[in-house]
């Protein structure tokens, strides 16, 4: 990675960083010269575990418990970050949930929970980060004051195939994150850049859960749905958290300073624009 594409010296906070994509992001930033990584998660023990992994890589770390559905937790995440490290350069709004349920079996509570975490939680995290970034000096003369990265999904795009019948609230929530990214980017430019990453089939515990549930619905052995899904990936393998992290590193670096309001697919070619 060239210096222009490196997040060296930055203070990065990541929500939902106790596992999966979030953990991968935390470790990738730590390995690429980031000054400090703030690991937040609703599971405090998981946050501390990942923070220890970050420190083992020679990067400063802070572990925080945060429920992003509570605005005060999002605000406190930013406050503690600034108290510990002086500023917040990159906020990654990663925390999210998934549910598999046929459309006609969904309850209002299912919809409310999905929107509370994936949409409201992302908004409240973004808002708290933006307020701090607008109050701090630029990263360097002529550069933004901070960068915000939202984790959306190709599920928020059109299509999605058979799985669309089982994840309607999730798909709607990720479409909302893409829209929120655009609104925030327009509002906060040129002081703050706001972009979204749209992953595909990432091999994490979340997808293992989805495979179990979907396989059970179809009367298939565990793992069969996952095999069927990844068989259609043009790049010939499932996506790993590092694939997502590599794009996040770019979006957090000086190389992306002129990019804002974009939602970028990184899915092995499942969805081509």
Domain ranges, residue 71: 3-202+240-266
Position 228 in a domain: no
Active-site annotation holder among 170, 207, 226, 250: 170
Q: Does residue 77 belong to any structural domain of this protein? A: yes
**93 within some domain:** yes
170 is catalytic: yes
Higher pLDDT, 83 or 222: 83
> Running DSSP on this structure, what letter comes out for residue 155?
G
Is the peptide bond prior to 190 cis by the omega test (within 30 degrees of 0)? yes
Q: Over range 128-139, report the average pLDDT.
A: 97
**Nearest Cα to Cα of residue 150 among 93, 90, 78, 198:** 93
pLDDT at residue 230 tops 90: no
Q: Which of 29, 58, 26, 30 is nearest to 39 (CA)?
A: 26
Report if residue 141 sits inside a domain: yes
Query: For residue range 158-199, what is the model confidence (pLDDT) as tens digits?
Result: 776 778 889 999 999 999 999 999 999 999 999 999 999 999
Q: Within a domain: residue 20?
A: yes
Q: What is the mean pLDDT of the chain?
A: 94
In the chain, the number of structural domains is 1
Looking at residue 204, what DSSP letter applies?
S
209 within a domain of the structure (yes/no): no
> Does any domain span residue 212?
no
* Residues contacting 265, CB < 8 A, separation 6+: 154, 157, 198, 200, 271, 272, 273
Average pLDDT over residues 200-219: 83
Tell me, what CATH number does 85's domain have? 3.40.50.720
Give the whole-angstrom CA distance, residue 63 versus residue 151: 20
Q: Is 60 exposed, middle or buried (0-12, 13-18, 19+ CB in 10 A)?
A: middle
Share of the chain above pLDDT 90, in %: 81
Structural domain includes residue 261: yes
Threshold 0.85, pTM exceeds: yes
């Amino acid at each position: 990675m060239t210096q222009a594409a490196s997040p060296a010296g930055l203070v990065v906070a990541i929500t939902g960083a106790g596992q999966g994509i979030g953990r991968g992001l935390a470790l990738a930033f730590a390995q690429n010269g980031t000054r400090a990584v703030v690991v937040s998660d609703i599971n405090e023990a998981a946050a501390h575990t990942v923070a220890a992994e970050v420190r083992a890589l020679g990067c400063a770390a802070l572990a925080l418990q945060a429920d992003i559905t509570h605005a005060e937790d999002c605000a406190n995440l930013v406050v503690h970050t600034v108290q510990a490290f002086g500023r917040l350069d990159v906020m990654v709004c990663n925390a999210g949930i998934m549910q598999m349920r046929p459309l006609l079996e969904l309850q209002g509570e299912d919809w409310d929970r999905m929107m509370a975490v994936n949409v409201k939680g992302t908004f409240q995290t973004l808002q708290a980060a933006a307020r701090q970034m607008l109050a701090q000096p630029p990263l360097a003369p002529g550069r933004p004051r901070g960068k915000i990265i939202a984790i959306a999904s190709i599920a928020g795009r059109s299509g999605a195939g058979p799985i669309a019948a089982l994840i309607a609230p999730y798909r709607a929530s990720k479409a909302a994150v893409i829209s929120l990214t655009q609104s925030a980017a327009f509002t906060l430019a040129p002081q703050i850049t706001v972009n979204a990453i749209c992953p595909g089939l990432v091999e994490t515990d979340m997808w293992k859960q989805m495979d179990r549930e979907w396989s059970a619905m179809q009367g298939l052995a565990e793992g069969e749905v996952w095999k069927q899904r990844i068989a259609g990936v043009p790049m010939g393998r499932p996506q790993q958290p590092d694939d997502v992290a590599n794009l996040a590193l770019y979006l957090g670096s000086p190389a992306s300073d002129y990019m804002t309001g974009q939602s970028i697919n990184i899915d092995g070619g499942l969805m081509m624009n």
